[in-house]
Amino acid sequence: MFDDIFAAAGKKREDYIDFVPCHPFYRIFDHNNRYFDYNDNEEFTLGQIEKWNADDREGYVRFLNTTKAIFAKGFTELADKPFLKFTDMLKVAPDLIRLQSYLSVYQYVSKYVKDDFLRRCFSFHPLLVGGNPFDTTSIYAMIHYLEREWGVHYAMGGTGAIVKALTNLIEEMGGKIHLNAEVDEILAEKGRVKGIRMADGSLHFSDAVLSNSDVAYTYRSLIDKKYRKKYTNRKIERMKYSMSLFVIYFGTKKRYLDSELKHHNIILGERYKGLLTDIFDKKVLAEDFSLYLHMPTITDPTIAPEGHESFYVLSPVPHLGADIDWTKMAKPYRDRIMQFLEDNYLPDLQANIVAEHYIDPLHFQNTLNSYMGSAFSVQPLLTQSAWFRPHNRSEDFANLYFVGAGTHPGAGLPGVLSSSVIAENLISEDFPL
C-alpha cells in the first residue's frame, strides 16, 4: 500500500524508505515464560504448533485456509470501498453470514484450535486495531492471513522514517505542510462545510474539508452542534470506543541481545478473557497485565547510540470512561511494569535506563485529541463496522470527508491507508476536474 502511494506520484518507495521483514513476526510468551514463534513459513509455524499441541496442526491448516476466504472478501474486495448506503451493507450481508462474521475472533479460532495458549496466539490480533478478541467479529481473523500474505515489516529508522519519507514526497510534489497548526473549528452551515478556523484565528476557506483527526473528536469538538443532525453529542457519547494504552518508551546503556527477546514480543499474563473483560467491560485497572514489548534495535541498531538498546512496552488499559485517576496511577503502574520486566526479561533494567518517557490515556485525549483517550478510536464491533461506522463522506455534511482510525474500514496502517484511497475516490467523484 505504501508502494502504491509512491507509484501514484511516479516514484519508487524504495528510494525513500526501506522496509525489512521481521522474523519471527512475533514471539509470544505465556505466563511461565515459554514462548511460541510464528511467521509466514507454514512448515516453521507448524513445527512450533507441534511443540505446544501436535493435535492442533491439522486444525491450524484448516483455520488458515478459511482466513484466506475472509481476507479475500474483507480486505481485498471491501476495505477500500465506501459503505455509504445501507444497501451497500445488504449486498455483503450474505457473504458476512457465510463467513460466520457473527462469531467473535476467539470463538472462530477455537473452532479449529484446541490448545488454550495457541487459541490466544491466533486470536490476539483484534487488539492491534482496538478490539476485544471476545467480541470483535471473526472478519478480523483475516489479520492473521494479511500478515502471512504481505509479511510483518519494520521501517528502517522507525515510524518517524515513514513520516519523513511521506513529507519528502509531499513537498517534492509541491505540497505544503504546516506544523504546530491546530484547527479550532470546521466552519459549517446547513449540510456543508466551508473551511477551517485555526487556533491563531486565521480562516481558510475551501471547497471541501478532509479530516484525519479522530472522528468523534472532530464532530464533537470542531463542529458546532447546531449543524449536526446524525452525529449529535448524544450519539457520539453512546458509541463504544477502543481501549487505551499505557506506553513506556525507554533506552538502556546495555544491550540485551543475549535475552530471549525478539523484535516483537507479546508477553501474555495468566488471565486472558478475565483481563480483557476488566479492560473493555468492567473498565478497571487490573493488578495483572499483558504486554507488548518492542525491541527495534535488534533489527536496526542505528536508532540508538552504539552499545545501547531501544524499547517500548505497552499495556492495554481501559479508556477514560473508567474511574482511574492517571495523574496518580501512572507512576505506580509504570513501576510495576518495569519491575516485572526487570524480574522476568531484562536483568538490571532500571540501573541501565538512560532515557525514558511514558504516556497514558490522558495523552491520547489531551495531546492527540482522541475522544475518551481511546488509542484506536471507534471500537471495531460488527455493529460499528462498514456502513455502521462513521462514513468516509460525512452523513451530516456533503463536502466533509474522513480518513483515519475512526472511519471505515478502521484502525492500523492498512486500514488507515485504505480509508485514504476511499476518500480520494469520493473527492474525485464529487469534484470532477
Complex with ligand FAD: residue 182 or 287, whichever CB lies closer: 182
Closest distance to ligand FAD from the beta carbon of 94 (Å): 30
Closest distance to ligand FAD from the beta carbon of 306 (Å): 26
End-to-end CA distance of the chain: 25
- The β-bridge relationship of strands 309-317 and 244-252 is antiparallel
The secondary element (H helix, E strand) that includes residue 427 is: helix 413-430
What DSSP string runs through 32-94?
A: TS-EEEE-S-HHHHHHHHHHHHTTHHHHHHHHHHHHHHHHIIIIIITTTS---SHHHHHHHHH
Instruction: Using CB positions, name the residue nearest to ligand FAD.
Output: 404
Closest distance to ligand FAD from the beta carbon of 291 (Å): 12
Complex with ligand FAD: residue 4 or 182, whichever CB lies closer: 182
Across the strands, what pairs with 311? Answer: 250
Complex with ligand FAD: residue 269 or 415, whichever CB lies closer: 415
Task: Give the residues lining the site for ligand FAD (CB under 6 A).
Answer: 182-183, 212-213, 245, 247, 314, 368-369, 375-376, 404-405, 411-413, 416
Complex with ligand FAD: residue 247 or 279, whichever CB lies closer: 247
Complex with ligand FAD: residue 213 or 265, whichever CB lies closer: 213
Residues 371 and 238 sit within 8 Å (Cβ to Cβ): no
Closest distance to ligand FAD from the beta carbon of 143 (Å): 10
The secondary element (H helix, E strand) that includes residue 326 is: helix 326-344
Complex with ligand FAD: residue 2 or 52, whichever CB lies closer: 2
Q: How far is CA 348 from CA 252, 293, 351, 370, 402, in A?
A: 10, 17, 6, 36, 46
Closest distance to ligand FAD from the beta carbon of 56 (Å): 27
Q: How far apart are CA 74 and CA 326, in angstroms?
A: 37
Closest distance to ligand FAD from the beta carbon of 409 (Å): 11
Closest distance to ligand FAD from the beta carbon of 311 (Å): 12
Complex with ligand FAD: residue 110 or 374, whichever CB lies closer: 374
Phi and psi, residue 247, nearest 5°: -125, 130
